[in-house]
């Protein structure tokens, strides 16, 4: 039976989950995959944390050189995160001829071209299933399961922290601040939640997923990004009254005009499959020309779900002789021949505070009409003291047309746009 040695860098939540799966299921993998996988080394600055996870003292390395110089290590699993030491350690491992498995979306999104170059030079594998949507096997699905398809779109809820916060706001009427506090208490959100709530985490993942789906480099810098920090409970409940649920969506589309990639809050109709993806769950909805619609659903974070993705990659690296790399020229920048669409099309939700007097509505609809923004439905309620609030949903129109209309409506002197949110179709 083939024998394979693994080193794990970082014994935090994900490293600990990976260690547990590899050690507890060792015999199962030997029986089902015909490979004996042993964790031979672990790099963790906090030795107590490694020991608490069950790592024997003699397996705790004191530096990366011990790992890359160890002939018994065939696969290095990176669970450190960030782009500092993690990048150096991954590169040095690849250069030493080790296969690398990483859960690091920021690293892979920003430096895949450099890492892949190093992997190709040494003919070793570079696997990153755990970087996107934790335990949900979306990367293997795009690389292998859907390779017969030209993919026209992918749309997903790919950040659990923000999905938990928005679910709490939708179902319990909690404010953003209250929901964030609760997410921190439950360990969903970190002390500094900005990577999640500002949409960075989802944007890294979208750049990786859309590069794979569209077979061209989609750099992180091309992803339009807007987080959920400005979402108000009024918007959530107004949308709900109109039959919509607010989600932080990651959207990638490819057409003859080019590629659009964006992460922002968006309303989805209550009947849409993504509308019922609640709490910390994630889902990705992919449309291919042959298969039609496919939806993958599951846990996008956590020790064992993320460990599941890592260990699947470890087994893949251990049982394959030829390694698969990107289907596109993996460079730092996008291919010059690919256009990225900024003036994309969407339907919109607008909440407008207005002076409650005759002629106001006519002025607003005139601006919308001149900008080719057409209304689907609208509600108005009096707010007292001469004020009213209008909530409307538009037909599909262009982003720049809406921005132009918003600026003009604000300049009327009788209305103030309180919120502009997209509505997914
Ligand atoms: N922080 C991420 C989330 C998990 O909330 O989904 C890791 O990407």
Per-residue pLDDT tens over the stretch 283-324: 999 999 999 999 999 999 999 999 999 999 999 999 999 998
The stretch 117-140 carries a mean pLDDT of 97
Distance 301 CA to ligand 1 centre (A): 5
Active-site hit among 205, 217, 222, 253: 205
Pairing of the two strands 292-299 and 397-398: unpaired
pLDDT-derived band at 32 (thresholds 50, 70, 90) equals very high
Atom of ligand 1 nearest to the CA of 133: 8
- Name the packing angle between helices 233-241 and 160-172 (round to 10°): 70
Distance 133 CA to ligand 1 centre (A): 8
pLDDT in tens, 133-170: 999 999 999 999 999 999 999 999 999 999 999 999 99
pLDDT-derived band at 274 (thresholds 50, 70, 90) equals very high
**Which of 231, 227, 226, 241 is CA-nearest to residue 179?**
231
pTM above 0.85, yes or no: yes
Q: Give the tokens for residue 166.
A: 């928005």
Atom of ligand 1 nearest to the CA of 131: 8
The predicted structure's pLDDT at residue 187: 87
Distance separating alpha carbons of residues 372 and 357, to the nearest angstrom: 25
Distance 41 CA to ligand 1 centre (A): 27
Asked whether the predicted pLDDT for residue 425 surpasses 90, the reply is no
Ligand 1 contact via 196 beta carbon (within 6 Å): yes
| 205 labelled catalytic | yes
Q: Give the tokens for residue 224.
A: 């339009």
Distance 203 CA to ligand 1 centre (A): 11
The stretch 184-197 carries a mean pLDDT of 93
Place of tokens 């150096």: 88
Take atom 7 of ligand 1 and give the residue whose Cα is closest.
Answer: 301
Atom of ligand 1 nearest to the CA of 164: 5
Q: Give the tokens for residue 133.
A: 């949507």
Please check whether residue 157 is in contact with residue 248, taking contact to mean a CB–CB distance below 8 angstroms. Answer: yes
How many Cα atoms sit within 13 Å of 235 on the Cβ side?
25
Asked whether the predicted pLDDT for residue 65 surpasses 90, the reply is yes
Ligand 1 contact via 160 beta carbon (within 6 Å): yes
């Amino acid at each position: 039976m083939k024998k394979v040695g693994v080193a794990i860098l970082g014994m935090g939540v994900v490293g600990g989950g990976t260690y547990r799966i590899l050690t507890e299921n060792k015999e199962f993998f030997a029986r089902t995959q015909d490979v004996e996988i042993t964790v031979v080394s672990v790099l963790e600055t906090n030795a107590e944390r490694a020991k608490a996870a069950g790592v024997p003292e003699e397996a705790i390395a004191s530096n990366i050189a011990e790992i890359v110089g160890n002939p018994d290590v065939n696969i290095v699993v990176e669970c450190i995160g960030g782009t500092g030491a993690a990048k150096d350690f991954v590169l040095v491992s690849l250069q030493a001829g080790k296969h690398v498995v990483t859960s690091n979306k920021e690293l892979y999104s920003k430096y895949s071209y450099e890492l892949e170059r190093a992997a190709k030079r040494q003919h070793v594998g570079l696997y990153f299933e755990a970087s996107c949507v934790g335990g949900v096997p979306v990367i293997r699905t795009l690389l292998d399961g859907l390779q017969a398809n030209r993919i026209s779109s992918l749309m997903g809820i790919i950040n659990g922290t923000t999905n938990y916060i928005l679910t709490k706001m939708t179902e319990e009427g909690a404010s953003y601040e209250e929901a964030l506090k609760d997410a921190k208490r439950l360990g969903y959100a970190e002390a500094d939640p900005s990577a999640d709530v500002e949409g960075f985490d989802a944007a890294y993942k979208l750049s990786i997923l859309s590069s794979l789906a569209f077979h061209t480099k989609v750099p992180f810098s091309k992803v339009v990004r807007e987080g959920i920090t400005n979402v108000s409970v009024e918007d959530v409940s107004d949308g709900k009254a109109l039959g919509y649920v607010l989600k932080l969506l990651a959207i990638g589309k490819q057409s003859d005009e080019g590629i659009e990639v964006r992460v922002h809050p968006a309303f989805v109709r209550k009947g849409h499959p993504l509308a019922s993806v609640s709490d910390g769950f994630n889902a990705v909805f992919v449309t291919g020309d042959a298969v039609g619609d496919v939806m993958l659903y599951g846990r996008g974070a956590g020790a064992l779900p993320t460990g599941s993705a890592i260990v699947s990659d470890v087994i893949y690296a251990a049982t394959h002789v030829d390694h698969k790399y990107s289907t596109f020229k993996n460079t730092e920048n996008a291919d010059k021949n690919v256009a990225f669409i900024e003036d994309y099309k969407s339907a919109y939700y607008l909440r407008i505070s207005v002076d409650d007097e005759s002629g106001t509505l006519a002025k607003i609809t005139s601006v919308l009409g001149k900008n080719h923004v057409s209304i689907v439905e609208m509600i108005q309620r009096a707010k007292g003291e001469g004020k009213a609030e209008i909530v409307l949903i538009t037909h599909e129109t262009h982003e720049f047309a809406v921005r132009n209309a918003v600026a003009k409506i604000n300049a009327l002197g009788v209305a103030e746009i309180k919120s502009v949110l997209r509505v997914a179709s």
